[in-house]
Structure 1
Amino acid sequence: MKNHRNPQEVNAGSMADIAFLLLIFFLVTTTIENDAGLNRIMPPDDNNAIVDIKERNLFEISINDADLIMAEEDIIDPKNLREKVIAFIDNGGLPLEAEGYCDYCKGERSANSSENPDKAVISLKAQRNSSYPVYVTVQNEVIAAYNELRDRESLRLFNTPYKTIYSDYYNEEINEDEKKVLKERLEIIRALYPQKILEPETLNN
């Protein structure tokens, strides 16, 4: 008569422990890459907000399919773009007696350019086939123009560059009282030269 043996069971308890330990190991050792990008506020879907912008207060920059940069309908070298943007923002074209006259602007005060930095708007458009590096280059030059103007006023008012105040504000070693003063200074400078960049949807042709 044959012996009937029950099949031996495999203890799976240790397998679960090993799987758990492996999971913890990979969670601890794996590095998650952060996506690089540009710190921008997306333009609103409703374009009614830009209807009231006067033509003189709008500086249009466009990039065509050949990656040529157009500023105010003229082809421009990227190296000269920052200077053009600064001249537009800092124009201060209102008459001395007019409301909103910019007494700190150092531009040409042309009647055909922006009235006040608060009203100056930079419009940036790109064609569908424009290259991303060129688009980023243009954005960087526009931001650099704002930072240069902010640096100038920060030095005039607080004898400190804007970028220094900005970096100090985000320094974890700064106490709350110092942070409050730095925040107030940042707000003052940003109010003098508010960053207004309009980035409409990319054009198809």
Structure 2
Amino acid sequence: MPRRKGAPEVNAGSMADIAFLLLIFFLVTTTIETDAGLDRMLPPMEPPENPPIIKQKNIFTVNINKNGQLLVEDNLMNLKDLRSSATAFLENGADGTCDYCKGRRDPSSSDNPAKAIISLKNDRETKYSTYITVQNELVGAYNDLRNREAQRLFGRDFTEMEAEYLNPETPKSVRDDLKDKVKRVQDMFPQKLSEAETSTN
């Protein structure tokens, strides 16, 4: 009686090569999303020897408690009113040096946009979503004013110009043209958003 042949062997020699090629394929084609952060400059490690003297009226104080309530300039305020209040403070123009400001020129408020500082302080138990929302409203106040001036001077929104300028795919000639325009508008309303030390109670 003839012997039965065993099951044919599967040649697995190339399986490692195939697995390696698949790994390379997925590494090359997979995109990893990066988290967007807040663009903030941290203070230096050592404070300056002669810090500048800042008048209290040039500081717009915003406090967030652990319940998400806003205390703006020592008064309770709804979040929906924060942007307009910050805008009014930034373009108050009390000293008369800002000829493009449309503020009330209240002598008890900020002298001019270059001296105006927004100070934000939050509690350790403040919700992150509340913190981000407040940040967005304050940055939005700067952007609204910058957009207004960019429209007046160049017929375009500042946020659109800045995004195009920062885009690495924008041609160099266009970026060179936008550089001075973006800086000019930024200098008109410099973003001075200071974060005070977080409170623990």
TM-score (norm 1): 0.81
Q: 1:117 aligns with which of 106, 113, 116?
A: 113
Alpha carbon RMSD of aligned pairs, Å? 2.5
Deviations 1:68-102 (A, max 9, x none): 011101111110000000000000011x4xxxx11
Equivalent residue for 1:52?
Answer: 53
Give the 3 Å change call, closer, same or farther, for CA 47–198 of structure 1 in structure 2.
farther
Equivalent residue for 1:91?
Answer: 92
The alpha-carbon deviation at position 117 of structure 1 amounts to 0.2
The alpha-carbon deviation at position 116 of structure 1 amounts to 0.8
Q: Secondary structure of 2:63's match? A: strand
Moved more, 151-160 or 186-195: 151-160
Mapping for residues 1-205 of structure 1, pairs under 5 Å = 17=17, 20-21=20-21, 23-46=23-46, 52-94=53-95, 96=96, 101-171=97-167, 174-205=170-201
Give the 3 Å change call, closer, same or farther, for CA 157–41 of structure 1 in structure 2.
same
Aligned-residue sequence identity (percent) comes to 47
> C-alpha separation between the residues in 2 aligned to 1:190 and 1:184?
10
Could you tell me which runs of 5 or more consecutive residues in structure 1 were left unpaired when the two chains were aligned.
1-12
The alpha-carbon deviation at position 149 of structure 1 amounts to 0.4
The alpha-carbon deviation at position 200 of structure 1 amounts to 2.3
> Are the equivalent residues in 2 in contact too, given 1:43–1:199 (CA < 8 A)?
no
Give the 3 Å change call, closer, same or farther, for CA 35–159 of structure 1 in structure 2.
closer
Q: Secondary structure of 2:66's match? A: coil
The alpha-carbon deviation at position 174 of structure 1 amounts to 4.2
Give the 3 Å change call, closer, same or farther, for CA 17–136 of structure 1 in structure 2.
same
Deviations 1:137-177 (A, max 9, x none): 11000011001100111122112221232233245664323
Deviations 1:38-65 (A, max 9, x none): 2222334445586622101000001001
Equivalent residue for 2:4?
Answer: none
> Are the equivalent residues in 2 in contact too, given 1:43–1:200 (CA < 8 A)?
no
> C-alpha separation between the residues in 1 aligned to 2:173 and 2:30?
39
Aligned residues: 190
Give the 3 Å change call, closer, same or farther, for CA 37–171 of structure 1 in structure 2.
closer
Could you tell me which runs of 5 or more consecutive residues in structure 2 were left unpaired when the two chains were aligned.
1-12
Give the 3 Å change call, closer, same or farther, for CA 74–50 of structure 1 in structure 2.
farther
